[in-house]
Amino acid sequence: MQVTRATFDEVMVPNYNPAQMIPVRGEGSRVWDQEGKEYIDFAGGIAVNCLGHCHPAMVQALTEQGQKLWHLSNVYTNEPALRLAAKLTAATFADRVYFANSGAEANEAALKLARRWALDNYGEHKQQIIAFTKGFHGRTFFTVTVGGQPAYSEGFGPKPGAIEHVAYNDLAALEAMMSEQTCAIMMEPLQGEGGVISPDIEFVKGVRELCDKYNALLIFDEVQTGFGRTGSLYAYQQLGVTPDILASAKSLGGGFPIGAMLTTKEIAAHLKPGTHGSTYGGNPLACAVAEAVFDIVSSEEVLAGVKAREQRFKQRLADINSKYNVFKEVRGQGMLLGAELSEAYEGRARDFMMAAAEEGTMCLVAGLNVLRFTPSLIIPEADIDAGLDGLERAIAKLVG
């Protein structure tokens, strides 16, 4: 059956507006569409394809597991899930892992666990969840309400209650809102969708101290920042602050859908049998692939390489900006970078993204004013240069 972009409009729910071209093949950091046109992939499936497309170790893991066992449900456990959980707990603060299918599900589990922990330990009054404006935590009704972007949560009826928002990096505003009724604070250790905004180190430490003061849990949403994206396995490891619960997904499976919630033994005990679940969570195929990804991403060589690539990216973007003066600021860490447009081009991030695609460079936006780059963690330097050459050609055309 021959399909085209027009087929999308005929058969798909119109909640997406995908590009006109349809990718059909990928290898490393390069992608080819139906017409055979080649692209450098700086989008990475939105910070997912941490080892690029069709990495041999992932293909091998999927192929081998696909010949053994596909699915069981959580009536039984399985070897890939147990191996992956053991590696995650050995490499982090966590003692226990809950597997899901996506970042939204990992965050949903984190929020439900926090509420259950507070209820069991302190009673029904302790249910307030505080999150941050411009934050993003997924599209379930609970997570999208906790996310600090009302446009995503409005229009679906009454929202889950006892959820408040304050500005990111504003410790005084957070402290003014907290009390003994505060159950948990949920935050990204670097806001992705909200514009690639890094926290002040003192802010993050202050959040941890406030959680301790008011007996509240600190939940880190590391769906986008986790699994090597910022140059350490998880971003909290660079901040000197340890959360109580951590949500992971995106790069965790390198392109195979999987999410995970990590926490301590004491907190995990409050999700007793029957309190939460997932039919596909801990699926053997997903866990086998994620284990292969872990073994590569967790290596010192790859993590050090992420920081080196960050510097190359930032230097090239600065060189481009010195010619065209289109960026107000380039920010972010590792392979999660954002270029905020200058005032002359405010609101035109999508125009730049589309122009870049015309020149063979796939990138993303984070809001109306920020170009976002989330490529493979092991993208070759030659592909970084080629992709940024395409971006520069696109900028030259737009700027005129």
Following DSSP, what letter does each residue of 198-256 receive, concatenated? PPPHHHHHHHHHHHHHTT-EEEEE-TTTTTTTTSSSSTHHHHT---SEEEE-GGGGTTS
pLDDT of the residue at 337: 97
pTM, 2 dp: 0.96
**SS3 for 394?**
helix
Phi, psi of 290 (to 5 degrees): -60, -35
The helix, strand and coil proportions of the chain, stated in percent and rounded to the nearest 5, come to: 40, 20, 40
Mark whether 212 is an active-site residue.
no
Nearest to 234 by CA among 249, 255, 218: 249
**Has 222 been labeled as part of a binding site?**
yes
- Residue 263 annotated as part of some ligand binding site: no
- 10 assigned to a ligand binding site: no
224 is in an annotated binding site: yes
Specify whether 323 is catalytic. Answer: no
Neighbours of 86 (CB within 10 A): 12
Catalytic site residue from 41, 221, 244, 383? 221
339 touches 330 (CB < 8 A): yes
Q: Is the torsion defined by CA of 38, 56, 48, 141 positive or negative?
A: positive
The confidence score (pLDDT) of residue 324 equals 96
104 annotated ligand binder: yes
Q: Does 279 appear as a known binding residue?
A: yes
Domains of the chain: 5-54+300-399 (3.90.1150.10), 57-297 (3.40.640.10)
Q: Which one from 42, 99, 132, 136 is the annotated catalytic residue? A: 136
| Catalytic residue selected from 250, 294, 313, 327 | 250
CA-based R_g, the chain, Å: 21
User: Average pLDDT for consecutive 10-residue bins of the chain (400 residues)?
Assistant: 95 94 97 98 98 98 98 95 98 98 98 98 97 95 93 91 96 97 97 90 97 98 97 96 98 98 98 94 98 98 97 97 96 96 96 96 95 98 98 94
Decide if 282 contacts 71 (C-beta within 8 A): no
Residue 112: active-site member: no
Residue 28 is classified by DSSP as B
Q: Is 223 annotated as a binding residue?
A: yes
Collapse the DSSP code of 2 into the 3-class scheme (helix H, G, I; strand E, B; otherwise coil) and give the result: coil
